[in-house]
Amino acid sequence: MANITIGVLCCHYTNQAGEEDFRGIPGTVILKRYPCSGHIEVADILKTFEEGAEAVLVAGCEKDKCHNLSGSLRAEKKALGARKILEEIGLEPERVRFAFLPRLDTGPFMEEVKKTFETALNMKSKS
Amino acid sequence: MIIAERRPIPKVLKAIEPYEKILVLGCRGCVAVCSAGGDREVETMAAALRLARKLSGRPLETGEATFIRQCDPEYLAPLKEMVRDYEAVVSMACGVGVNLIADLFPEIRVYPGVDTTFYGANPALGEWQEKCRGCGDCILDVTGGLCPIARCAKNLLNGPCGGSQGGRCEIRREVPCVWHQIYERLSARGELDRLMNFFPAKDWRPAGHGGPRERIREDLKMG
């Protein structure tokens, strides 16, 4: 099977999962961390696709837990903006996933990473 | 300010179809303030174009720059040198910027990266509303500061039409009837007498119907 690459964009406070945690993912994970998920731009998401990701997870802290109050809400909107652009250029918008996650809880974070990998796998099998 | 919005990516892709290396050029004036053509949007547009072209098997190289303004020759001057490395420019400025580049540098192939829409205010984050049509013959002194040219779908000058119902415009229920607002405003101030004089048929020449407008101030010209 061809190597599958996914992107994970999140803030330092959302999760600090490392190489060890991603070992169970049978593909490549491009991990980008930001001081706050509100700092993630549409361009960052698109660039991750340029780098070869088949799907990208944008993860932010739960709505009322954002260190900067509204960062993760902004991140959710950026994910929607990236989806819109993907659609315009003929890619499936569902390649961009967004999740509000409990801070520093690796379990739910890895669940979303796995779902993103499944999305990537589906997309790859379609293409 | 001048309000603009990002052009659909397929339209931009079509315009730059022949090229392999383009410059995406932003403007830090109005279009940056309305989040359509500043640094951030330049980065997004460039990334979107590169990704689309990568998918089509014809990779695109992009350069990114943002000028303070694209509506002044002095700020556009560096473009002449900068553009030598590129085959074309996608300008994220309003139509004024695109036109001025085309005027000043006939050799540069320039294409719009935004659609320029209207002169508007920014009453809340993520909201822009048209407030002025630039018609060249202001009547705001009579209408309580509320413009029926920009804010009435029919540009009526002497009161509301029959489509004004309950203070709302028939075009869309969420649009207030500006003539209703004008009446309420002047009535509250005891200034309804301002509306006793009829406006004659409007001369649209200063609004641009007499051809492209220009303004010359000899006191500011040098040489």
Domains of chain A: 1-11+24-61+76-100+114-127 (3.40.50)
pLDDT score, position B87: 98
Is the CB of residue B203 less than 8 Å from the CB of residue B210? no
At residue B67, the 3 state secondary structure works out as: strand
Chain B residues in contact with A91 (beta carbon < 8 A): 55
Rounded CA separation B114/B130 (Å) = 17
Which domains does chain B show, CATH number per domain?
2-118 (3.40.50), 133-207 (no CATH)
pLDDT score, position A73: 95
Q: Is A46 on the interface with B (CB under 8 A)?
A: yes
Q: How close B9 gets to chain A, by Cα (Å)?
A: 6
Total number of residues shown for chain B: 223
pLDDT digits (tens, 9 = 90+) for B1-28: 999 999 999 999 999 999 999 999 999 9
Q: Is A127 on the interface with B (CB under 8 A)?
A: no
Antiparallel, parallel or unpaired: β B114-124 and B127-132: antiparallel
pLDDT digits (tens, 9 = 90+) for A29-44: 999 999 999 999 999 9
Tokens of A48: 């991750």
Q: Is A91 on the interface with B (CB under 8 A)?
A: yes
Residue at B195: amino acid letter: L
Is residue A1 scored above 60 in pLDDT?
Answer: no
pLDDT by position in tens, chain B (length 223): 999 999 999 999 999 999 999 999 999 999 999 999 999 999 999 999 999 999 999 999 999 999 999 999 999 999 999 999 999 999 999 999 999 999 999 999 999 999 999 999 999 999 999 999 999 999 999 999 999 999 999 999 999 999 999 999 999 999 999 999 999 999 999 999 999 999 999 999 999 999 999 999 999 998 7
Rounded CA separation B54/B31 (Å) = 28
The β-bridge partners of B6 are: B114
Average confidence (pLDDT) over A7-20: 85
Q: Which residue has the tokens 């407030």?
A: B131
Q: How close A38 gets to chain B, by Cα (Å)?
A: 14
Mean pLDDT over each residue of chain A, to the nearest integer: 93
Beta strand ranges found along B43-167 (DSSP E): 61-67, 88-91, 110-112, 114-124, 127-132
Residue A53: CB atoms within 10 Å:
25
Q: Find the CB nearest B40 among A41, A47, A85.
A: A41
Q: Which residues contact B216 (CB under 8 A, 6 or more apart)?
A: none
Indicate whether this model's pTM tops 0.80.
Answer: yes
Instruction: Name residues 1-40 of chain A within 8 A of B (Cβ).
Output: none
Instruction: Mean pLDDT check: name the lowest of A6-20, A44-58, B127-141.
Output: A6-20
Band (A105; pLDDT cuts 50, 70, 90): confident
Is residue A17 scored above 90 in pLDDT?
Answer: no
At residue B189, the 3 state secondary structure works out as: helix
pLDDT score, position A68: 87
Q: How close B10 gets to chain A, by Cα (Å)?
A: 7
Chain A residues in contact with B54 (beta carbon < 8 A): 50
pLDDT score, position B36: 98
Q: Do B55 and A47 touch (CB under 8 A)?
A: no
Mean pLDDT over each residue of chain B, to the nearest integer: 97
Q: Which residues contact B151 (CB under 8 A, 6 or more apart)?
A: B130, B131, B178
Tokens of A123: 């997309």
